[in-house]
A = this chain, B = another copy of it.
Amino acid sequence: MAEKITKREIDYSKWYLDIIKVAELAEHSDVKGCMVIKPYGFAIWEKIKDQLDKMFKETGHQNAYFPIFVPKSLFEAEEKNAEGFAKECAVVTHHRLMNDPENPGKLMVDPNAKLEEELVVRPTSEAIIWSTYKKWIQSYRDLPILINQWANVVRWEMRTRLFLRTAEFLWQEGHTAHATKAEAIAETEQMNGIYAKFAEEFMAMPVFQGLKTESERFAGADETYCIEAMMQDGKALQAGTSHFLGQNFAKAFDVKFADKEGKQDYVWATSWGVSTRLMGALIMTHSDDLGLVLPPALAPIHVAIVPIYKGDDQLEEIKSKLGPIISELRSNGVAVKFDDDDNKRPGWKFAEYEAKGVPVRLAIGPRDLENGKIEIARRDTQEKNVIDLSDCVKEVSRLLEEIQTNLYQKALDFREKNIQMIDSYEEFKSKIENGGFFLAHWDGTAETEELVKKETKATIRCIPFEGDKEEGVCMVTGKPSKQRVIFAKAY
């Protein structure tokens, strides 16, 4: 199996697609730009979803569901938002097909079934949700509204790439409504913080939290918070965003509330989302030339056990010996796959679990059994050890924790190695070619940002929260700068 994977240093993009293929995560569909998420890929997404859902609920959010369609008149109500998404909309114009009189057996759009008003397939749901919130909000007693939805959205992308950029993708979108600006900003920050926590603790992926510049903001937001991660090619990946929407949508949809004194004011809003794009981030943060590497916290299978045997007697012996161990592992919350598929050789299975990024693999044959031993292999470092069967449960638990920590540390070390302060634009231009993050001073203007983008394809990923806030001068124009920002090429 391993031979099908292009090496990262040969062709990073092809490597990425090869990993998705050999690990059976997803594939292109017969619909331009849309993907099929295969069972193993979807199982990882379910782990991501379940954990995030838990974190949202723990912070007081509830799930709900809003329509997939947005009538054009609602879609265009918040002008900046509409402008931002109008160019990439799937538009429903008819509600019926009919038999094509000129092509028996074929169908055509029924011209008599044209909709009075076109429907946009949601690229994001602020419009449809705020037209609903208008009915729900009269007074401060109706606030805050803390709602999330798990949904599919469609943005008509021309150049697509599995998980990273697809016409249809799955995501969650939180949409909250508040009585005060301060509360809405606190919510925006809280949710960006939850994304960072999730990325670091579960995906084992270090991220920078920060603010987007005006030109990189969500269309319709007053401020966009984000988490940015570094991939193994040194490029940045925006892994989640949380938007302070000010009163923009409340004004567009005329959503006012009466405060305790009866004074009317527009409602304050936030929205925040992460998507199946996280799958791309996960793949590119940890995987290697042998296949996918998964942090245990998000692995659908923690431990694959491959018995090596001849004949049913030996298999039965292995089974009876491992039975109690497997039960104990499972009752500890470890997802175990015991693979006694007769049609595949052990070597084939080893390669398969390696390709699929299963964190720990156990192998046991008749001689091991005799000696009370079992082979334990970890996916991240490829290390193998033979241990006492009686230590197996303890060692698996220890290893799963260690792998989780190690993956995070490795990714953090990589990021440290590939981030640098830079003050010369000339130096920047020569270095940015090879990827990496650059902490540089910037004069705060969209013009300079645009120039850098045009000349180097690098963008300002964020104005980071962490690190020193020393002032300086813009590396491009020499004008004053309040703090360094992160420049990088990005996905």
- Show the binding face of A for B, using Cβ within 8 Å: 27, 29-31, 34-39, 41-43, 45-46, 62-72, 74-76, 79, 82, 86-99, 105-107, 109, 118-121, 128, 131-132, 135, 141, 147, 151-152, 154, 156, 168, 170, 343
Contacts and interface: CB of A to CB of B under 8 A. Distances in A.
A37 B64 CA distance: 6
A105 B121 contact: no
Contacts of A79: 105
Nearest to A100: B76
Given A31-B119, A97-B120, A119-B31, A65 B36 contact: yes
B91 A109 contact: yes
B75 A62 contact: no
B69 A34 contact: yes
Nearest to A92: B90
Contacts of A132: 27, 29-30, 36
Contacts of A72: 97, 107
A34 B68 contact: yes
Q: Which 8 pairs from chain A and chain B are nearest by CB?
A: A34-B67, A39-B62, A37-B65, A86-B97, A95-B156, A91-B94, A31-B67, A93-B93
A96 B88 contact: yes
A233 B154 CA distance: 41
A61 to B, nearest CB: 9
Given A68-B68, A72-B97, 17 more contacts: A29-B66, A29-B67, A31-B69, A34-B68, A34-B69, A36-B66, A36-B67, A39-B62, A69-B168, A76-B105, A76-B107, A91-B95, A91-B97, A92-B93, A93-B93, A93-B109, A151-B152
How many copies of the chain does the oligomer comprise?
2
A89 to B, nearest CB: 5
A261 to B, nearest CB: 16
Given A107-B76, A121-B92, A128-B29, A86 B69 contact: no
Interface centre among A43, A67, A135, A170 (most CB of B within 10 A): A67
B94 A93 contact: yes
B30 A42 contact: no
Contacts of A93: 91-94, 109
B152 A68 contact: yes
Interface centre among A39, A107, A132 (most CB of B within 10 A): A107
Contacts of A131: 30
21 contacts: A30-B128, A34-B67, A34-B68, A36-B64, A36-B65, A38-B64, A45-B65, A46-B63, A68-B152, A68-B168, A72-B97, A75-B97, A76-B107, A86-B98, A86-B99, A87-B96, A89-B97, A90-B119, A92-B92, A96-B156, A121-B121
A152 B8 CA distance: 38
Contact of A43 (B62, B66, B96): B62
Nearest to A53: B46
A30 B343 contact: no
Given A98-B86, A132-B30, A168-B67, A39 B147 contact: yes
A27 B64 CA distance: 12
A252 to B, nearest CB: 11
A98 B120 CA distance: 13
A76 B106 contact: yes
A91 B89 contact: no
A70 to B, nearest CB: 7
A127 to B, nearest CB: 9
